[in-house]
Amino acid sequence: MDGNGRWARRRRHPVSFGHRAGVRAIKRVLEGCEELGVEVLSVYAFSTENWSRPRAEVRALMRLFHETMQREIDEMHRRGVRIVVSGRRDELSQRMRDRIDEAMARTALNTNGILNVCLNYGGRAELVDSVRRLVEEGVPADKIDEAAIAAHLYNPELPDPDLIIRTAGESRVSNFLLWQSAYSEMLVTDTLWPDFGVDELKAAIAEYNARVRRFGGRPDELSVGSVS
């Protein structure tokens, strides 16, 4: 979800204005996913590295996350969307953790798509935490394989993303879903995240459908089930 700050600065507004516009973009894209049959939408809301941003911006972001989760939970539940949060929740405030627990518990049985919010998330941190859990469980080193690591990720029940979309012209991986994105298709668009909508999503999926995925082997028929 790149480009919130640039979007705000071009309009001579504070960065927080761009982040709020970014939340509206999430709602549009989630509606587009429902329309197009995309089952999982993962959004990179806040990385483990984002704590290094100006303190005022971090505080504003945390307030926005809390307010948004509180405001939107009823609507998400009504639409049948399941909310999950991936990341190091123990480093968030108790107030935020309580709100996350409420949102996840309330929507746990919903089946009309999944919104995966990556909050205080880092791909390397997720792998470290997965291995730590294995060690804590006393799993012998010779029993640690790909399946064991995958089973101890933050939300192991989620499928690997088929398509990762980077907005604002950014072409880096940026520590996002490192394990899960091994064979994901990547698409970079110059559109800033607050301007990204259903039309852009449809165009991205159309481009995805024109590609051939080999997964290291033969071409496979394509269908998008998970977008990040």
Distance (Å, rounded) from C-alpha 127 to C-alpha 107? 26
**Buried b or exposed e, range 70-91, using 16+ CB within 10 angstroms:** eebbeebbeeebbbbbbbbeee
Distance (Å, rounded) from C-alpha 39 to C-alpha 37? 6
Q: Is 50 a catalytic residue?
A: yes
Instruction: Quote the Cα angle for 211-214-220, to 5°.
Output: 75
What amino acid is encoded at 28 in this protein?
A: R
Distant-in-sequence, close-in-space partners of 120: CB < 8 Å, separation ≥ 6: 46, 47, 48, 87, 88, 89, 91, 92
CA 67 to chain centre: 18
Per the residue annotation, which of 4, 50, 155, 195 is the catalytic one?
50
Q: Is 110 a catalytic residue?
A: no
List active site positions.
2, 50
